[in-house]
Amino acid sequence: MTEFVRKIVPNAKDDVLAGITVSLAMIPEVVAFAFVAQIDPLVALSGAFIIGLIAAIFGGRPGLISGAAGAVAVIFVHLISEGHARGLAFETPIENMGYYYLLATVILMGIIQIGAGVLKLGRFVRLIPHPVMMGFVNGLAIVIFIAQVKMFSHKQLEVTADGVKKYINIPMEGSELYTTLALVLLTMGIVWLLPKLTTKIPAALTAILVTTGVVIFAKLNVSTVGSYIREGGGDGLSGELPTPNLELWEYLPFTADTFSFILPYAFLAASVGLIESLMTMNLVDELTESRGNGNRECMAQGLGNMMSGLFGGTGGCGMIGQTVININAGGRGRLSGIMMALTLLTFILFTDQYIEQVPIAALVGVMFMMVIETFAWSSFRILRKIPKSDAAVLIIVSAVTVVYDLAIAVFVGVIISALVFAWENAKRIRARKHIKEDGTKVYEIWGPLFFGSIQDFNGKFDIKNDPDMVEIDFMESRVTDHSALEAIFNLVGKYEDAGKQVRIKHLSEECQALMIKASPKLAGVIEPNVDDPRYHVMAKVMK
């Protein structure tokens, strides 16, 4: 505890102010998340408080902001609607059953994420190439921009002929639109200009307060946080301290059918949440030139989601938009995330009437400035300077992020990058040939031998015309997978069928053990001890 306090004291003022700023920017996105998932905004806000607090205290990346919003919202939409239908089909129909299925899914989502941390799967975030990261950031900036543009509208509830409720956006027009645009520009101007005058005052928070003051004193008729929530069917921000939801255990049937129903949603939400959180952690690492702990972040996200489900909140993950705002506002330590969560709770419990007066335009202006700062403008400059494959990955990831989803974009980018890497390395296999004085033909293999290079590797050998003694030297090569072992095994077999002797030199110790285990007769083909100082140096390097 003393160590924890010691770490948060040096940057306490900046962390506190940054946390307050982020909590204000958090509200509209969390409320929008609730509308998408068709749940009560207070359920989403409770989840944002619980997940944000736990992830800030126990997470692997100080300065990272977590909350109940993001890509997981889309995953829960179908779950909730189908859950409602299941509840009405029970022998004793239960209203709002989709909500209880949601809580159970969020708990299971958290358990899966904790498991990912225990298995140390967080380390795989290091395998994400830089072009994928840049494409992710650019695509995300565009997604956030589009989301803010949608704020220039009013929500209207419609009921379809079959009784399905949905919200549609009615665009602003006339004087309201022009007033809102002016307030957005005012907010952006303050955020841009204030740091040039002084860095002691948080620009984003100051811009929100000034713009709110202008709206209140000028009595401008514009959309506010309160009106935005009520347009979506909510009753406002006023709520209570989250407590364990005992109704979950009363109404939820604990059966194999329930588990099979929620498991796919929980697994997908856990995967998407971890990818978005770890990508956000990577971005903060770059911005702050420090390094977080991916496995610890996995477990903290899982604990946060599990507790959120138990206390009646919805699921969430790391939020890159709010995290960037936090970093730009000077937030660097755990205190910024803790302050964000506590301020959010304070808004819900005590100051809802004040926060509801904050104009949406002020928050949109802050988010627009965040979009400008998040987008990797340097990507335009380097597109012609980097390999065409990397440029293609960057563009594809950006496009998939905008059209589909952040997690899908990362998967696509990593797969394309891996295929390109495999293709490029497959072309690097070489064989230098020469004849020894005793007539033995030597093949010196260069380059990695793996599934992609096997075809070229097999084409290097002339089994029919080779002499009776052949030596294959892997000094400058590395055998990397089972396909490569199988290729060597088959090659030896072909030479033996042709009545010729083969000697294999400079295989790594691991490769030797695997080959001999697969076929004990190969022990007579492999030379285990080679009197060559280079071999021992290479063996140590490869380990």
Per-residue pLDDT tens over the stretch 465-519: 999 999 998 888 888 888 888 888 889 889 989 999 998 888 877 778 877 887 7
Q: Is residue 408 part of a domain?
A: no
Non-local (6+) Cβ contacts of 522 within 8 A are: 489, 492, 515, 516
| Residue 540: predicted pLDDT | 42
| Residue 161: predicted pLDDT | 64
Beta bridge partners of 476: 446
50 and 119: one domain? yes
351 and 500: one domain? no
Residue 232 tokens read as 């979506």
Cα 466 vs. chain centroid, distance in angstroms?
54
| Residue 35: predicted pLDDT | 66
The string of pLDDT tens digits covering residues 421-456 is: 888 877 788 888 989 888 899 999 988 888 888 888
438 and 495: one domain? yes
104 and 152: one domain? yes
| Residue 443: predicted pLDDT | 92
| Residue 536: predicted pLDDT | 41
320 and 433: one domain? no
Query: How far is it, in rounded angstroms, from Cα 471 to Cα 505?
Result: 7
Q: Is residue 31 part of a domain?
A: yes
| Residue 418: predicted pLDDT | 85
Residue 516 tokens read as 């001999």
**Sheet of strand 430-435: strand arrangement:** 430-435, 441-449, 469-479, 501-505
491 and 375: one domain? no
- Tell me, what DSSP letter sits at residue 362? H
Q: Is residue 266 part of a domain?
A: yes
Q: Is residue 186 part of a domain?
A: yes
Q: Is residue 375 part of a domain?
A: yes
| Residue 236: predicted pLDDT | 67
Q: Is residue 329 part of a domain?
A: yes
Number of domains the chain contains: 2
33 and 115: one domain? yes
Q: Is residue 355 part of a domain?
A: yes
Examine the fold and report which residue of 364, 389, 414 is the final residue of a domain before the chain moves on: 389
172 and 226: one domain? yes
Q: Where are the beta strands (DSSP E) in 306-418?
A: 317-318
pTM of the model: 0.71
Q: Which range marks the domain in which residue 466 is found?
A: 427-542
62 and 189: one domain? yes
Nearest to 424 by CA among 450, 395, 404: 450
Query: How far is it, in rounded angstroms, from Cα 305 to Cα 46?
Result: 11
| Residue 6: predicted pLDDT | 55
| Residue 5: predicted pLDDT | 54
- Residue given tokens 């992020």 in the structure block: 401
433 and 362: one domain? no
Segments in the chain below pLDDT 70: 1-10, 32-33, 35-37, 69-71, 74, 126, 157, 159-167, 232-237, 529-543
Examine the fold and report which residue of 371, 389, 407 is the final residue of a domain before the chain moves on: 389
Q: Is residue 420 part of a domain?
A: no
CATH classification at residue 533: 3.30.750.24
Query: How far is it, in rounded angstroms, from Cα 211 to Cα 370?
Result: 17
381 and 525: one domain? no
Query: How far is it, in rounded angstroms, from Cα 12 to Cα 405?
Result: 36
Q: How many C-beta atoms surround the C-beta of residue 528 within 10 A?
A: 11
240 and 321: one domain? yes
